Structures are given as C-alpha cells and as structure tokens.
Amino acid sequence: MAKCPVDSRNLDEIKYEGVAVDHCGSCGGVWLDAKELETIQETRIMDFSEALSKPENLVAAAFSMAKSGRERDYQCVRCDAVLIKREYGYASQIQVDVCPEGHGMWLDHGELQALEKFYERMNAEADSEFAALEAEIKSARSREGVLGFLRSFWS
C-alpha cells in the first residue's frame, strides 16, 4: 500500500479523467505514476511554451504558497528517494515534485486544481491566438485533459 509522502497515511485510488491515481484523503495530495501518465492517449502535443512563459499570477502564487509551508523533504511513494522539485521550463514558476528514479510525481493539495486553472487559461489563449486551429485544438483538448498536459512535464 502506497503511503502519503506528507503525512504517511495510506493512499487510496481515485479516478481522475478516467485514470486511476493515488490520493490522500487526509491532506488531499495526489501521486501520479509515470506509467499512469504514459497510459494517457497519445495525441499531438501542442507547443505551449509561449503560454507557459506567462503564467497567471494567481497560479504562481498558489504554487509558491503550497511549497513554502513545507517543513521537510518528501519521499517517493514507490522507493526511498527524496522527491526533487522540478520547474517546468521558461521560468514558469510551476514546480512539481518528481522521483529521481522516474517513478512519478507528487502534487500537493491545490496544485492539481491550480494546474487545471492554468491549463484552461492556456487553452483560452490558444483559442484566441490560433483561431484558425480552434477546432483542432478543442478536439486535442478534450482528449488530453490536465493529465495529458502533465505528460508534457514528464517527457
């Protein structure tokens, strides 16, 4: 049974966007296995690098708030390794905790929600900037969801 890296409670399985993920009922954090991200349907990855370079202040604030309250390192739920903070490129201020052995990533309570907001905003910007591709973007979005977006952190 996987244990929460924050409070050592047993994680339970919940469905998120149709994928089983490990969730802590105590602190609300979520563990995503690398293989869980890999099972998300393969779709064309949009180039969101420009959008990622100007994240919504609200989102950045939520992330730094969640990280600043931490008193100790988190451990991978699959091995003994200490999770490392990894910032997505272009100074996005979006940080996820990943296992250096490649087991997956941990999202503190609120981070998944913050990512959802960020992802929605990114899609909205994509709609206005690439109006001609709108239909294609919408169809890619409905297939990918936030988990598909998270895959782009991983790869």
7 sits near Zn ion (criterion: CB under 5 A): yes
The neighbour count for residue 86, using CB atoms within 10 Å, is 15
Among 3, 16, 26, 86, binds Zn ion (CB under 5 A): 26
- For Zn ion, give the closer residue by CB, 17 or 101: 101
| Near Zn ion by CB under 5 A: residue from 14, 79, 91, 124 | 79
Residue 85 CB, nearest distance to Zn ion (Å)? 15
- Options 2, 16, 19, 27; binder of Zn ion; rule CB under 5 A: 27
Residue 15 phi, psi (nearest 5)? -95, 130
Check residue 2 for interaction with Zn ion (CB under 5 A): no
Q: Specify the residue, 4 or 40, whose C-beta has the smaller distance to Zn ion.
A: 4
Q: How many CB atoms lie within 10 A of CB 1?
A: 7
**Joined tokens for residue 151:** 């895959």
Please state, in angstroms and rounded to a whole number, the distance separating the CA atoms of residues 107 and 149.
Answer: 14
Among positions 91-150, residues that touch Zn ion (CB under 5 A) are 99, 101, 103
CA 96 to CA 41: how far, in whole Å?
22
Instruction: Give the shortest CB-111-to-Zn ion separation in angstroms.
Output: 13
Residue burial 38-52, b: 16+ Cβ < 10 Å; e: rest? eebeeeeebebeebb
Which residues of the chain form contacts with Zn ion (CB under 5 A)? 4, 6-7, 24, 26-27, 76, 78-79, 81, 99, 101, 103
